Structure 1
């Protein structure tokens, strides 16, 4: 297995393998790139995205086996049962079982946005299964004021009850979905790439695959002390890559970035020009890949030296 600290590949995107497993009674699907004996990486996408969000970045991670999961309720994966929710820690048991199904003792977690938050919780709680953590424009959610706990619980419960009665959203065409997704700040190319796994064709157009309950506010959110404990508990090497025009524009995220320097024991931080979905555009993705491959090469050097 050879890990290069730089990347020169330009032929993007590369055709992936399509995988699926039955885990805890749910069908989980994924896209995979790279040799099966490559450096093991599990990739976790952001909120309302899907595995295709890694179709530009993953082929650039030469020497890696990148398995990008459609998290439950997203892409081609099953929705959770009617009595279940989509809190950021709910995916962790299934992710651990996917790692096991790959025959991996551990792996590097690569997460974007919400996927970065899930990956951070996983790395903090179950470090024996995580060799390292790479987060892309994300780390932890905004801390919640304890005094708002009951109000948040009420909002989550009431909204979940309302959304359960709604029909799944339909679009007249793929173009309709692409145009609507563009209104939320992504380029046409990014929206079209996400559409490949976000939509299911029906007799009268296209149905959105995402579970609408993902739109519901979480009934329970983490407070500042819990977030600090999670970051202090990270015992694996961490690489944070932030987009210049991404979440760091928000004051609470800028504070989190500063705090992480003191709270995370083994932290490497990088900044790349671009917006929140910078890993889905060719030039930023190539720069991100360089940071990730350098980071992984360092892990391998330290691992071999220790051995």
Structure 2
């Protein structure tokens, strides 16, 4: 059964959806969601795995800082990508399991890949959904990125927060933006929105929408991927981001397992049973004793 908990880690509340005993589990599987999603992005996948899970497995989907029910960072923090790596580290070291597997979708996958490269001793397996390594671009774009990033912060500081008159309207807007049926995004919306002064407001910190001031070069990104030591599996949607398919062939190590499932960028929402089965099989390869 999935349970909701909130932990106080390094002075900040970290909200999670989890199943299994985080204290006695032999293996903790930590799932990191995409940008402006939240932990509920993984509830259908986690539920689909319930019949395969043994008591030795702890599944834990985390609300990243500023998302879902987790706390926001202070007012002058604009959620630099690299700070997420520190956030994940602070959470992982609180888990007692001998083995830890990181699962990441989109932004969560970018974070998980970088963390796995920097701290191989803490990661026994890496499972990415519609994500491969950190975002990269030509160094020639660095000055323009700095300028655009600062200007985006200026706009966010000036922009008033606006809500929706009804929950249904908010759900419709998010479904259109995600190009998914309302039923599939409803869990994310329910966890990510709240009623304030008669208006439905997103809980996500508005500063999450600022543009990055810095992005790695392609050489940096390739070095990160080359440093990953643990078993590594990638799942791509058949109608997901086409750039990921090209990128995976160019830079991923030959031993990396790449699987394709039906669906788009949120293929784990569209086909949770298939993605859940792939994840279950991956976990079994890491530690066959964790499944009954």
Tell me the TM-score normalized by structure 2: 0.91
In structure 1, the residue matched to 2:249 is 258
How far apart are the structure 2 equivalents of 1:165 and 1:76?
Answer: 25
In structure 2, the residue matched to 1:276 is 265
Post-superposition offset of 1:146? 0.6
Aligned equivalent of 2:33, options 21, 37, 45: 45
Q: Structure 1 residues 182-191 or 270-279, which shifts more?
A: 182-191
Post-superposition offset of 1:51? 0.4
- Tell me, yes or no, if structure 1 residue 132 matches structure 2 residue 125: yes
Post-superposition offset of 1:88? 2.2
Q: Residues 118 and 166 from structure 1, CA distance in 2 versus in 1: closer, same or farther, beyond 3 angstroms?
A: same
Please show how residues 151-166 of structure 1 align to structure 2 within 5 Å.
Answer: 151-166=144-159
Post-superposition offset of 1:23? 2.2
Give me the CA root mean square deviation: 1.9
Structure 2 regions of 5+ residues with no counterpart?
none
Q: Residues 78 and 68 from structure 1, CA distance in 2 versus in 1: closer, same or farther, beyond 3 angstroms?
A: same
Q: Residues 146 and 164 from structure 1, CA distance in 2 versus in 1: closer, same or farther, beyond 3 angstroms?
A: same
Is residue 99–residue 105 contact of structure 1 (8 Å, CA) maintained in 2? no
Q: Residues 178 and 38 from structure 1, CA distance in 2 versus in 1: closer, same or farther, beyond 3 angstroms?
A: farther
In structure 2, the residue matched to 1:9 is none
Q: Residues 168 and 16 from structure 1, CA distance in 2 versus in 1: closer, same or farther, beyond 3 angstroms?
A: farther
- Tell me, yes or no, if structure 1 residue 107 matches structure 2 residue 122: no
Structure 1 regions of 5+ residues with no counterpart?
1-14
In structure 2, the residue matched to 1:230 is 224
Q: Secondary structure at the match of 1:200?
A: strand
Tell me the TM-score normalized by structure 1: 0.86
Please show how residues 3-82 of structure 1 align to structure 2 within 5 Å.
Answer: 15-36=1-22, 37=25, 39-61=27-49, 62-63=53-54, 64-82=57-75
Post-superposition offset of 1:112? 0.5
Is residue 23–residue 94 contact of structure 1 (8 Å, CA) maintained in 2? no
